[in-house]
Amino acid sequence: MTKVVSIQYPSGGFGHFIHVILSAYCKKFNGQIIDYEFGIGGDSHSYPKSLPTYFGTAEFDVVQYQQLKQQLDQDKNEFATILIDCGINNDSDEFRSVIHPDMSIRVVYDDWSWPLLSKLFYTRCMAAVTHSEQTIGEWIMPDDNKWDNPTQNWAVREKFFLYLRDHAYRYSWRSNHSTLNIPIDHVLNYQSLSKLLGQQFEINNFEPFYSSWYQTNLKHFEFFLKAQYVWKNLHSSIDIIDIDDLFTQAVIYYYIWVEFGVEVPHNTYSDWFTNTKEIVTMLQHHGVKFDKP
């Protein structure tokens, strides 16, 4: 009997990517290693699927699923994946009552990795729906008249910060004890992802394929890597004047709020900081005490 492995994921294309890795590089799956070309936006959506994607109970063809599952059983495939794509607004496990998977994988995020998904949801996934590229700002505030000061960088940065802090989806897609949880930021590191998948599956080396995916998709998550680097080196007095992307700046503001509960006074600090030492000084001015190194 073929064991069905469900892959549940929010937006961002990570579920399809994991499906390819399991199908093509894990032993006892039914996929084929191929010279794969990613989509224009870096997606993995065109890779063949043995089972139909689950978009929701109402849309799912149970009869077709059972027929395909029987064919997999006859072909003596030990494992097969099924994608659970109910959207970022539905992270429930209702699919279990229909599919009854033998194993489950769940792509998750927390407060620190939420900024990555928060941007991909708009710039990648929603753009695919509308077949047009739009900036994160155009999605969050499409009408410039709704901005208090649409031409002021500090005002735009503040809007981005509030979006990151207050959006309801920030609290979604947390780890679940009944699944193999894959933190979304771990997908950005080959060793971390390989180790996680290796806990459950006998996996071959997929580093060349991963490197190709990483380079193709770097434009989607480079802002996140920059913000993470700044945050991890907050006390190292590194120059950050070259970070001119307002959303990346807002992510750093958001991290400050998550860690210290301090919202940077946006108008007071209307100019972006030149180095991390200035950020530390600002925080000390607002009552944050740091342990001496």
As for how many domains the chain has, the answer is 2
Is residue 115 a part of any domain in this protein? no
Range(s) of the domain holding residue 237? 130-167+222-285
* Distance, CA of 49 to CA of 21 (rounded, Å): 12
* Distance, CA of 85 to CA of 200 (rounded, Å): 22
Is residue 125 a part of any domain in this protein? no
* Distance, CA of 207 to CA of 60 (rounded, Å): 34
* Distance, CA of 143 to CA of 62 (rounded, Å): 43
- Joined tokens for residue 118: 């928060």
Contact 68, 74 (CB under 8 A): no
99 and 54 part of one domain = yes
206 and 86 part of one domain = yes
213 and 237 part of one domain = no
Q: Amino acid letter at 214?
A: Y
Half-sphere exposure of 237 (CA within 13 A, CB side): 2
- Joined tokens for residue 39: 């989509």
157 and 254 part of one domain = yes
* Predicted model pTM: 0.89
138 and 50 part of one domain = no
Q: What is the reported pLDDT for 103? A: 95
Residue 112's nearest CA partner among 218, 166, 220, 184 is: 184
Contact 243, 222 (CB under 8 A): no
Per DSSP, helices labelled H in the chain are 14-25, 62-74, 96-99, 114-120, 127-130, 136-140, 153-166, 190-198, 207-232, 246-260, 276-285
Summarised one tens digit per residue, pLDDT across range 82-136 is: 999 998 889 999 999 999 999 999 999 999 999 999 988 776 655 554 444 445 5
88 and 227 part of one domain = no
Is residue 9 a part of any domain in this protein? yes
92 and 55 part of one domain = yes
Residue 73 or 212, more confident:
212
Is residue 122 a part of any domain in this protein? no
**Number of DSSP helices (H) and strands (E) in the chain, helices first:** 11, 4
208 and 250 part of one domain = no
Q: What is the reported pLDDT for 12? A: 75
Give residue 152's pLDDT band: very low, low, confident or very high (50, 70, 90). confident
142 and 281 part of one domain = yes
67 and 141 part of one domain = no
149 and 52 part of one domain = no
Average the pLDDT over 43-71 and give the result: 91
Where does a domain end: 205, 220, 235? 220
Contact 251, 115 (CB under 8 A): yes
* Distance, CA of 133 to CA of 138 (rounded, Å): 10
